[in-house]
Chain A
Amino acid sequence: MSNKEWPLWEVFIRSKQGLNHKHVGSLRASDAQMAVDNARDVYTRRSEGVSIWVVESNSVFASEPTDADSLFEPANSKAYRHPMFYDVPDGISHM
């Protein structure tokens, strides 16, 4: 007999067709099918979803908060990526 704890799964729900699956929480289950069934029972009790993804938590590779500066700071200094950075002469429309 196995004494191992059931693995942890991250749960993602698509709330309706046309939208991304979004992380909603986690749960423990012995396998992927049980994780989907349990997610159905706790995370979609009031029609919150039309599709469920489950991913074993230890398969998620996450960025480190301490790397946030080097990862995300470069985007902050590139305002020219936003359309507000450009002058559009008066009288020009549809742009």
Chain B
Amino acid sequence: MKEVTISELERRFQEKIDNDIKIEPKDWMPEEYRQTLIRQISQHAHSEIVGMLPEGNWITRAPNLRRKAVLLAKVQDEAGHGLYLYSAVETLGADREATIDDLHTGKAKYSSIFNYPTTSWADMGTIGWLVDGAAIMNQVPICRCSYGPYARAMVRVCKEESFHQRQGFEIISLLAQGTPEQKAMAQDSLNRFWWPSLMMFGPNDAESKHTAQSMKWKIKRSTNDELRQLFIDVTVPQAEMIGLTIPDKDLKFNEETGHYESGPINWDEFWEVVKGNGPCNKERVDARKKAKDEGAWVREAAMAYAEKRKERSAIRA
């Protein structure tokens, strides 16, 4: 085989991407592309897993058996999403347990939305409607991401998300049509989750330092602001339809552009939460650490059992 220079490999790599040829695990890729994907996919995986906590909080208190079964199924789906994504990270040569340890030490982040508490049943509705809704907006373009395993994981995830959003919207719209107390509960939930949901799309494009390179590599297919606008445009009419008010006094529809214009986002709050100072950051990471530490003996016992059985069948053979 003849020697090929790095710049030639990089040129061929970019050419593949430009021609929409997917990159697969064993293909040559620039180290920075690999590291960007490891960071992004593992943080995405952490978000799925940490995201189970605010909803898990309500499983035992769901108002009836159907709601309980649905919420349980939804939270189980999120565990599966985490699994698909951790598996995709492993195809890049990253150590799964090391990425999880990065979450526990605070080195790796996860979606800031999950650092807000779920204080009422209406929050189960709002999370499905807005948080899964925003996740869909974010994830659909990733189905066309240049890295094959990530794109395929996203296709699986997106197939499951629409159930998540619909079950949430059903909860919130029923509450909004209910008694004055139920409607107030729905509105209060929307008031608390609206702005953090908009922050889920990440900083404004001008502040987002990775966007340009990620777009060139087709890891990212739309910018944060484009996706946020899309989300606002589809969600505002849904809120109006069920009689809830978006908590933004500056919100107005621009007839000329056909888009909603919204008030300023409190980015100081966003960065505080990202830095670890949100209402539930510590609680969330502590819960994950506890799960790993207290589950250690189970993982060890299962492995010891498997090894013992293997030895026994080797002796018999």
Contacts and interface: CB of A to CB of B under 8 A. Distances in A.
Interface of A: 1-6, 8, 24-28, 30-31, 34, 41-42, 45-46, 62, 64-66
Q: Which range contains the number of B residues in contact with the other chain?
A: 20 to 34
Nearest to A11: B87
A25 B28 contact: no
Instruction: Pick the most buried of B28, B153, B300: most chain A CB atoms within 10 A of its CB.
Output: B300
A2 B153 contact: no
Interface string B224-238: 000000000000000
B83 A31 contact: no
Nearest to B300: A1
Contact of A2 (B24, B83, B156, B304): B304
Given A8-B90, A64-B26, A42 B306 contact: no
Contacts of B76: 41, 45
Contacts of B309: 31
Given A8-B90, A26-B87, A31 B306 contact: yes
With a 10 A CB-CB cut-off, give which of B87, B153, B300, B309 has the most chain A CB atoms. Answer: B87
Interface in B107-165: 152-153, 156, 159-160
B45 to A, nearest CB: 13
Given A8-B90, A31-B306, A45-B77, A65 B299 contact: no
A5 B307 CA distance: 12
B27 A30 contact: no
A30 B306 contact: yes
Contacts of A66: 1, 28
B27 A2 contact: no
A31 B152 CA distance: 25
B303 interface: yes
B153 A25 contact: yes
Contact of B300 (A3, A28, A31, A41): A3
A30 B309 CA distance: 11
Contacts of B97: 5
B26 A62 contact: yes
Contact of B26 (A1, A4, A65): A65
A6 B26 contact: no
Nearest to A28: B96
B87 A27 contact: yes
Interface in B1-34: 1, 24, 26-28
Interface string B144-188: 000000001100100110000000000000000000000000000
10 contacts: A1-B300, A1-B301, A4-B303, A6-B299, A31-B309, A31-B310, A42-B80, A45-B80, A65-B27, A66-B28
Interface in B87-107: 87, 90, 96-97
Contacts of B96: 5, 28
